[in-house]
Amino acid sequence: MDFATLIQILDSTMRLATPLLLACLAGLYSERSGIFDIGLEGKMLMAAMCTGAVAALTGSVWIGLLAGIAGSMIFALIHGVASITFRGNQLISGVALNFVASGITVLIAQSLFRQGGRTPPLSGPARFNPIELPFAEALSGVPILGPFYAEVISGHGALVYIALLCVPLTWWALFRTRFGLRLRAVGENPASVDTAGISVVRLRYTAVIITGVLCGLAGAYMAAGLQTGFGKEMTAGRGYIALAALIFAKWRPWYALMATLLFGFFQALALRPDVIKGTLGFDVPVPALDALPYILTVIVLAGFVGRAIPPRAGGEPYVKER
């Protein structure tokens, strides 16, 4: 593998890791508050469809983005009502929403555009176009670091940078603010929050709403950044991979960045069978490569990462007890 190829793979790693990172951080807020959310996938899908459709209709990716966030938010709130207000089973609610999203996105896209459940191809201002960071051109001549900066770091859509900014922001919010303290507390022991006179319900809804926004960003990036429009099941299990990354990351923002970059790297590798062949010396069937990130997911979930302790109150509706 030569340097140029490596740069190419790292470049696509960045792009592929972005929806994973956004979804992973989305899950982080929800699960840190004690609400398990297996419905990241459904929310991303919903956001992708809304973004794809609205961007196609209006020609503006930003209006599309808002629509995506709104679509994801509706699902987030349904999950919130089911699991916080009605104290329902969070896994069942999440799975149900995933199924609903899988069907309803295709249904809406088909009835709007009659293109086999896809949204029309996006181009120009209806997509997230690459942003050239300053000095990318000037520095590209510098050996190693130059191309790395110009290709890998620079030249991505806005959401890639927003996702990266979300990492320190989340860390800061979680560990340096009052909101973060309460959020972490409510996921560990809601009774402690309740007896301190803080509303468990309000905190958890706040977390679920943030999850909705972040999933909205992830889905919008899928439809208008990574691809050129919405297609059936286009998230392809990324919501679940993000959950695996969240466990891998032990519910911590910086680890989440590392974990999703790793998963992104495997996804990028899967797109380059030629490189694999060049490196290993034999052909690896493409389906096997496609399965790589998922195999890694299984390995991670099987506890390969050691003991990851989830927020202690996770998955349990809060009921006052004597």
Partner 1 sequence: MTGDTGKERQATAAPAIELRGISKAFGPVQANKDISIRVAKGTIHGIIGENGAGKSTLMSILYGFYKADSGQILINGTPTAIPDSQAAIRAGIGMVFQHFKLVQNFSVLENVILGAEDGALLRPSLAKARKVLGELAAEYELDVDPDEVIEELSVGHQQRVEILKALYRHADILILDEPTGVLTPAEADHLFRILRNLKEQGKTIILITHKLREIMEITDTVSVMRRGEMTATVKTAETSPEELAELMVGRKVLLDVAKTPAQPGRVVLEVENLRVVDEDKVERLKGISLKICAGEILGIAGVAGNGQSELLAVLGGIARGTGIIRLNGDQIDLTGQHSDGQSRRARGIAHVPEDRQHLGMIMDFSAWENTAFGYHHDPAYQKNRWLMDNDAILENTKGKMERFDVRPPIPTLSAKSFSGGNQQKIILAREIERNPDLLLVGQPTRGVDIGAIEFIHKRIVELRDAGKAVLLVSVELDEIMSLSDRIAVMFDGKIMGERLPEGTNERELGLLMAGITDGKTGEAA
Question: What does the binding site for partner 1 look like in residue numbers (CB under 8 A)?
Answer: 175-182, 184-185, 188-189, 191-198, 312, 320, 322
**Buried (b) or exposed (e) across 290-301, using 16+ Cβ within 10 A?**
eebbbebbeebe
SS3 131: strand
Phi and psi for 310 in degrees, rounded to 5?
-75, 165
Q: Which is nearer to partner 1, 95 or 191 (CB)?
A: 191
Structure tokens at 242: 């993000």
- The smaller minimum CB distance to partner 1, of residues 135 and 175, is found at 175
Q: How many CA atoms lie within 13 A of 255 on its CB side?
A: 13
Smallest distance, partner 1 to C-beta of residue 310, A: 12
Give least dist CB 191 to partner 1, A: 5
Q: Find the shortest distance in angstroms from Cβ 311 to partner 1.
A: 9
Q: How far, in Å, CA of 217 to CA of 214, rounded? A: 5
Q: Give me the residues paired with residue 156 across strands.
A: 131
Q: Which is nearer to partner 1, 11 or 31 (CB)?
A: 31
Nearest CA-CA partner of 208 in 82, 77, 12, 46:
77
Rank residues 134 and 197 by Cβ distance to partner 1 and give the closer one. 197
* Minimal distance, residue 287 CB to partner 1, in Å: 42
Q: How far apart (Å, rounded) are the C-alpha atoms in residues 48 and 231?
A: 9
Q: Which two tokens stand for residue 274?
A: 């030629």
Instruction: CB nearer to partner 1: give 114 or 320.
Output: 320
- Minimum distance between the CB of residue 201 and partner 1, rounded to whole angstroms? 12
The distance of closest approach from Cβ of residue 257 to partner 1 in the complex, given in angstroms and rounded to an integer, is: 22
Least Å distance between CB 320 and partner 1?
6
* CB-nearer residue toward partner 1: 129 or 192: 192
Query: Nearest 10 degrees: CA dihedral of 169, 173, 175, 178?
Result: 160
- List the one residue out of 254, 251, 217 whose CA is nearest residue 68: 217
Of residues 197, 194, 196, the one with CA closest to residue 321: 194
> Is the four-CA dihedral 279, 146, 15, 176 of positive or negative sign?
positive
Which residue, 173 or 236, has its beta carbon nearer to partner 1? 173
